[in-house]
Amino acid sequence: MGETIFSKIIRKEIPADIVYESETVLAFRDIKPQAPVHILIIPKITDIETAKDINPAEHGQLLADMFDAANKIAKDLGISESGYRLVINSGPDAGQEVCHLHMHLLGGRKLNWPPG
């Protein structure tokens, strides 16, 4: 996998408004928010470009860590009870702009369905 902006954020070479960090996951505010709360949750390992690259045996705990981070962040930001959306875009037709697996946590307003 090539170098991405997320790799630089993980190494703290580029500033980000970090809201959560663990050994395996980093979460920060999106610079182009699509909702009042828009957080990007990324794994700190950089070899998973898209959802199709996930190996359940190898990455199962990492995915659990990402969902755990989402739940903690939603609670900390006061949107856990009202509801929030988790989105993983996979590939260009889905709108994935950075080739590094990431999850969007969206909330803070009523979200419409279908989304796109």
Q: What is the dihedral of CA 58, 95, 83, 45, to 10 degrees?
A: 30
pLDDT at 114: 87
Which parts of the chain have pLDDT scores under 50? none
d(CA 37, CA 39) in angstroms, rounded, equals: 6
pLDDT confidence of residue 115: 78
**Gyration radius of the chain's alpha carbons:** 14
- The span from the CA of 83 to the CA of 91, in Å, is 26
pLDDT of residue 90: 95
pLDDT at residue 1, rounded to an integer? 58
Quote the pTM value. Answer: 0.95
How far apart are the C-alpha atoms of 108 and 25, rounded to whole Å?
Answer: 22
Point out the residues that are catalytic.
Answer: 102
| pLDDT reported for residue 5 | 95
Q: Which residue has the tokens 């962040």?
A: 73
